[in-house]
């Protein structure tokens, strides 16, 4: 092992040990202290002076010198508006009920003991993310409220901004009498630090990666602790045979075109054959107007063909499983609800899928049988989001089935332990 790797390893072990210690204190921290830390952090973010702006300018200058494009630079920038938004997020979290300590389902057993469950923090989570420095505050505030400690690894292009933000978090924790080490930011851009972070089961209980699919797949493969991960969002909207066509038109348009880049945007449209001739020309005209390319099955193509100015192509097998994140949609005519459900379960990514229908049994079958993290009736797939679901904040979206599915808020950072209350009972 080189001198440098020895140093890095010692540094990561120190972070891990400190996080584990801080986690014990955070798990037992009073609700009031956690809320005070969140409000102090909000205040410090709003009042943040030249130190934070200088740090952010260093990242922006380095970014410009490295040739980052305008959207990337925009995401790097800690404008007053961005800071106000994250500060507001902290205040909202402070106002939410404390998830920790909740005791549920206590029932008396025939032996005399009472058995229930208590919600407790997971312990220490590691978070790996790219570019936007506001994620540092989102992760820190969720850790504080949920009574966890965290070790953060932001994008290298935001390192100075992240370090300055982490100092504000530490000051806020200290002000509330909580350990600074509850939120630690890895202070090096060395990539080997990620490899260490995901392989310290003695110090880190779960890893939450946010970023490109390649990064997430690599981390999932190599991690020695559980990973809450988000892979594809190949979302479907299915227009059933019995349907309010005007409603379906409005919702499918929104699901596809309100924004093209989010993971919950609809990428594939299924239409029941009984309504294809009514629905497809109308939605097709809307898509054509907005420049959305349509990759369609032969039957859909025949109905869309006469549209002037439409970008049309024949869908290939690959299209059915593709997440475009772009103004492109795949379109298929199906003969039954069964075919729609089977198609979604086969080609979808188990993220978010919606049915547009007025038929109650069909709505219930879709909800039950589509195996996705979010299933919807008569609503835009774009609603699949922690804020829209009322979670207050979102640490990520899970495409796994284990532990947490879909948008992950405070509860995803907790688990339930068993509580037994007795009066001297013994096992016979």
Location of structure tokens 């490295």: 66
Give whichever of 59 and 394 is closer to a second copy, judged by the CB atom: 394
Instruction: Give min distance, CB of 252 to a second copy, in A.
Output: 10
What is d(CA 357, CA 343) in angstroms, rounded to the nearest whole number? 17
Give whichever of 191 and 417 is closer to a second copy, judged by the CB atom: 417
Give whichever of 302 and 379 is closer to a second copy, judged by the CB atom: 379
What is d(CA 161, CA 167) in angstroms, rounded to the nearest whole number? 10
Least Cα distance to 190 among 366, 4, 66 occurs for: 4
Rounded to an integer, what is the distance from CA 134 to the centroid of its chain? Answer: 14
- Residue among 5, 61, 111, 316 that touches a second copy (CB under 8 A): 111
- Residue among 97, 101, 212, 298 that touches a second copy (CB under 8 A): 101
- Residue among 72, 73, 96, 118 that touches a second copy (CB under 8 A): 118
Structure tokens at 329: 């949609």
Site residues (CB under 8 A) for a second copy, limited to 206-235:
206, 226
Backbone angles phi, psi at 117, to 5 degrees: -130, 145
Regarding beta strands 396-398 and 406-408, do their DSSP bridges make them parallel or antiparallel, or are they unpaired?
A: antiparallel
**Under rule CB under 8 A, residue 27 binds a second copy:** yes
What is d(CA 223, CA 201) in angstroms, rounded to the nearest whole number? 9
**Under rule CB under 8 A, residue 28 binds a second copy:** yes
Give whichever of 303 and 373 is closer to a second copy, judged by the CB atom: 373
Give whichever of 291 and 422 is closer to a second copy, judged by the CB atom: 422
CB atoms within 10 A of CB 396: 23
Backbone angles phi, psi at 305, to 5 degrees: -45, -50
Residue partners of 193: CB distance under 8 A and separation at least 6: 8, 11, 12, 153, 186
**Under rule CB under 8 A, residue 260 binds a second copy:** no
What is d(CA 174, CA 107) in angstroms, rounded to the nearest whole number? 40
What is d(CA 382, CA 93) in angstroms, rounded to the nearest whole number? 23
Q: Which among 41-49, 129-137, 246-254, 270-278 is the span making contact with a second copy, rule CB under 8 A?
A: 246-254
Structure tokens at 261: 């880049």
**Under rule CB under 8 A, residue 120 binds a second copy:** yes
Q: Which among 86-94, 230-238, 321-329, 417-425 is the span making contact with a second copy, rule CB under 8 A?
A: 417-425
The DSSP line for 194-225 is HHHHTT-TTT-SEEEE-S-HHHHHHHHHH-SS
**Under rule CB under 8 A, residue 109 binds a second copy:** yes
Instruction: Give min distance, CB of 362 to a second copy, in A.
Output: 14
Q: Cα Rg for the chain, rounded, in angstroms?
A: 25
Give whichever of 376 and 395 is closer to a second copy, judged by the CB atom: 376
What is d(CA 35, CA 408) in angstroms, rounded to the nearest whole number? 20
Rounded to an integer, what is the distance from CA 74 to the centroid of its chain? Answer: 21
**Under rule CB under 8 A, residue 254 binds a second copy:** yes
**Under rule CB under 8 A, residue 106 binds a second copy:** no
- Residue among 157, 205, 323, 394 that touches a second copy (CB under 8 A): 205
**Under rule CB under 8 A, residue 406 binds a second copy:** yes
Instruction: Give min distance, CB of 113 to a second copy, in A.
Output: 5
- Residue among 247, 277, 313, 314 that touches a second copy (CB under 8 A): 247
Rounded to an integer, what is the distance from CA 60 to the centroid of its chain? Answer: 26
Angle between helices 273-289 and 245-257 (to 10 degrees): 50
- Residue among 33, 62, 72, 115 that touches a second copy (CB under 8 A): 115
Interface mask toward a second copy for 365-404; x: CB under 8 A: x-xxx-xxxxxxxxxx-xxx---xxx---------xxxx-
Q: Which among 9-17, 116-124, 178-186, 232-240 is the span making contact with a second copy, rule CB under 8 A?
A: 116-124
217, 249 contact by CB (below 8 A) = no
Q: Which among 11-19, 191-199, 303-311, 418-426 is the span making contact with a second copy, rule CB under 8 A?
A: 418-426
- Per CB under 8 A, residues contacting a second copy are 24, 27-28, 101, 107, 109, 111, 113, 115, 118, 120, 122-123, 205-206, 226, 244, 247, 250-251, 253-255, 258, 345, 354, 365, 367-369, 371-380, 382-384, 388-390, 400-403, 405-407, 415-427
């Amino acid at each position: 092992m080189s001198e440098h790797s020895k140093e890095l390893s010692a540094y990561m072990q120190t972070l891990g040990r400190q996080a584990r210690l801080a986690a014990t204190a955070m798990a037992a921290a009073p609700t009031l202290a956690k809320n005070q830390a969140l409000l102090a952090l909000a205040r410090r973010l709003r009042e943040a002076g030249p130190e934070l702006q200088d740090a952010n300018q260093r990242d922006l200058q380095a970014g410009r010198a490295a040739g980052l494009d305008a959207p990337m630079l925009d995401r790097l920038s800690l404008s007053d508006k961005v800071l106000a938004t994250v500060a507001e997020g902290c205040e909202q979290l402070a106002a939410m009920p404390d998830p920790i300590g909740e005791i549920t389902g206590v029932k008396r057993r025939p032996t005399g003991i009472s058995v229930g469950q208590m919600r407790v923090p997971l312990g220490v989570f590691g978070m790996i993310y790219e570019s936007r420095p506001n994620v540092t505050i989102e992760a820190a505030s969720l850790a504080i409220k949920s009574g966890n400690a965290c070790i953060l690894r932001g994008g290298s292009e935001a390192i100075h901004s992240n370090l300055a933000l982490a100092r504000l978090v530490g000051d806020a924790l200290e002000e509330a009498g909580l350990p600074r080490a509850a939120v630690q930011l890895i202070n090096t851009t060395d990539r080997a630090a990620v490899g260490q972070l995901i392989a310290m089961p003695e110090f880190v209980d779960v890893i939450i990666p946010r970023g490109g699919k390649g990064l997430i797949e690599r981390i999932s493969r190599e991690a020695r602790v559980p990973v809450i991960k988000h892979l594809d969002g190949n979302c479907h909207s299915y227009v059933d045979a019995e349907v309010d066509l005007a409603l379906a038109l409005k919702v499918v348009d929104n699901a596809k075109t309100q924004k093209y880049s989010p993971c919950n945007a609809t990428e594939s449209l299924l239409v029941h054959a009984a309504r294809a001739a009514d629905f497809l020309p109308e939605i097709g005209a809307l898509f054509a107007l907005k420049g959305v390319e349509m990759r369609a099955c032969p039957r859909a193509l025949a109905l869309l063909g006469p549209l002037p100015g439409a970008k049309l192509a024949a869908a290939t097998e690959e299209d059915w499983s593709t997440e475009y994140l772009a103004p492109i949609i795949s379109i298929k005519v199906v003969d039954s609800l069964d075919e729609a459900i089977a198609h979604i379960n086969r080609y979808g990514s188990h993220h978010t899928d919606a049915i547009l229908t007025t038929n109650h049994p069909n709505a219930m079958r879709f909800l039950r049988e589509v195996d996705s993290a979010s299933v919807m009736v008569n609503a835009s797939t774009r609603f699949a989001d922690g804020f829209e679901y009322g979670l207050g904040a979102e640490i990520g979206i899970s495409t796994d089935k284990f532990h947490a599915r879909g948008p992950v808020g405070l509860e995803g950072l907790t688990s339930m332990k068993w509580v037994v209350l007795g009066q001297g009972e013994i096992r016979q």
